[in-house]
Structure 1
């Protein structure tokens, strides 16, 4: 049994998931902010794990600033993505940059503004689709992947 601070209890055999929040930072010229991670060399959108004491929008603001030096304002939830292998549920918000200049950081070996074509050619499918979904009209997309490729392409799963 797991006991929370407010006294509620839950069976300890419930599945555990972590929640992350990412930013699709879109400039007026249509370019999107991306980082090349120092730990694995992959191009991804900025973001990270939602801390226990913060909301997803606060995570996006904090992570983008830490990883890129850019201050953002989250505007709209554009997608929910589940990595079936790692048990991570990611929320992605379209954001607009409000201050700061993009630069390399402790977490990002490179920081760049990509076109949609560059996103498709430089990023793995599960990360590219998060940015492409953010610039596609319509409500939030829901997608499932294994870390390397999409498992379900629909948006109503």
Structure 2
């Protein structure tokens, strides 16, 4: 039996799938940045997670930051797009301003702290620290790729 598959169906089948995540680079008026220590692996990161199908990116950022930290935010501009080429995850990072709430941990975070930029570089791997530092420089949105551990230089 001969099966016919349209070009678009063939392309869809061979097109790599990506996951989209969102994160908040939450900056206080004093310049400190909101960070979490993940409960599952102990690494320091900015709050964020997988964008739900029905969510706008800004809604996803507000939800993820609140779930992981207890902090309410206003979402401002997109500051960067970061692709993990090993996992096929594309992360959209938005600069945010805290508007209320009380810092608390969650099932996903074992610590929630406001860090200085120096503390960010000391505690986080470069692929997460750069996301917060990029949000501070005002030169975005930045587009960067990494392998999960190290940044991949732009070509």
Q: Does TM, scored on the shorter chain, surpass 0.5?
A: yes
Partners of 1:107 and 1:11 lie apart in 2 by 34
Aligned ranges 1:67-78 → 2 under 5 Å: 67-78=68-79
Cα distance in 2 between the residues matched to 1:23 and 1:77? 10
Partners in 1 of 2:12 and 2:43 — Cα distance? 37
Q: 1: distance between equivalents of 2:27 and 2:18?
A: 28
Bigger Cα displacement from structure 2, 43-52 vs 99-108: 99-108
The equivalent of 1:80 in structure 2 is: 81
Equivalent pairs counted in the alignment come to 148
Unaligned runs of at least 5 residues, structure 1: 2-7
Separation of aligned partners in 2, 1:106 and 1:87 = 25
SS at match of 2:137: coil
Q: Corresponding residue for 2:20? A: 19
CA distance in 2, matches of 1:47, 1:137: 21
> Normalising by structure 1, what TM-score?
0.90
Structure 2 residue matching 1:111: 3-state secondary structure: strand
| C-alpha distance in structure 1 between counterparts of 2:117 and 2:32, whole Å | 8
For 1:42-53, what aligned pairs fall within 5 Å after superposition?
A: 42-53=43-54
Distance 1:138 1:78 in 2: 8
Report the TM-score when normalising by structure 2. Answer: 0.91
Equivalent residue for 1:4? none
Give structure 2 stretches of 5+ with no counterpart: none
List structure 1 segments (4+ residues) > 6 angstroms apart after TM superposition: none
* Residues 72-103 of structure 1: CA deviation (Å, up to 9, x unaligned): 01101000000011100000000000010111
Q: Over the residues paired in the alignment, what is the CA RMSD in angstroms? A: 1.4
